[in-house]
Amino acid sequence: MSTAKPSLMGRISLALSSFFRIVANPAFAARVGALDSAPPAAEAQPLQQAAPDAALQLLGLLQREARFIDFIQEDVAAYSDADVGAASRVVHEGCRKVLRENFSIGPVRDEAEGSHVTLAEGFDAAANRVTGNVVGEPPFSGTISHRGWQVLETRLPQLAAGHDLHILAPAEVEL
């Protein structure tokens, strides 16, 4: 499909031929109607900067309950697999606690992994990532390899006025 903008005479010619084709062909008229109601592809929405507050609050909770940042910042190459495994159990349990206390999380798809599904035209591409040999246009038929996750409810704690979210864990000074 050409992306060059047609001249005035080209647009007039296109309008007249489209008019007569729309009047004579109901299927073509339906396709033109769908194009007319669809948002223009060329008008992409500008990206927005995400507010960091909730992300910083979550990092602080993960650090407090799971020592997540301590674990990730540590170079574990020098430790044995058993030591890393033991530490990861503590981090895992703390992270799990933070998620359960602050979010309700559920699967994006209700079907079991391995189930055969068909994604119809207009499927939610944000909720369903198509992988593998993707050729052509929907409908796509395939197998669920991961059900996905979505946040159903968020219950982050309220913050006291003046709380600095950039301090994820205060420095500890032992006296």
Instruction: Give the pLDDT confidence score for residue 173 in this predicted structure.
Output: 96
144 in any annotated domain:
yes
- The CA distances from residue 33 to 28, 59, 161, in Å, are 9, 48, 53
28 in any annotated domain:
no
Instruction: Give the pLDDT confidence score for residue 42 in this predicted structure.
Output: 56
Q: How many domains does the chain have?
A: 1
Q: Does residue 63 contact residue 69 with C-beta atoms inside 8 Å?
A: yes
Band of residue 39 on the pLDDT scale cut at 50, 70, 90: low
109 in any annotated domain:
yes
Average pLDDT over residues 128-136: 91
173 in any annotated domain:
no
Average pLDDT over residues 19-41: 76
- Residues 10, 12, 15, 18: is their CA dihedral positive or negative? negative
% pLDDT > 90, the chain: 67
Give the residue among 138, 137, 149, 168 at the shortest CA–CA distance from 68.
Answer: 168
* Range among 49-58, 102-111, 127-136 rated most confident: 102-111
Task: Name which residue leads in pLDDT, 131 or 42.
Answer: 131
Instruction: Give the pLDDT confidence score for residue 48 in this predicted structure.
Output: 84
40 in any annotated domain:
no
Range of the domain at 119: 53-127+138-154
42 in any annotated domain:
no
Mean pLDDT computed over every residue of the chain:
89
Instruction: Give the pLDDT confidence score for residue 66 in this predicted structure.
Output: 96
Instruction: Give the pLDDT confidence score for residue 38 in this predicted structure.
Output: 66
6 in any annotated domain:
no
Kindly give the pairing relationship between strand 140-143 and strand 116-119. Answer: antiparallel
31 in any annotated domain:
no
Instruction: Give the pLDDT confidence score for residue 41 in this predicted structure.
Output: 61
- Residues 62, 64, 67, 72: is their CA dihedral positive or negative? positive
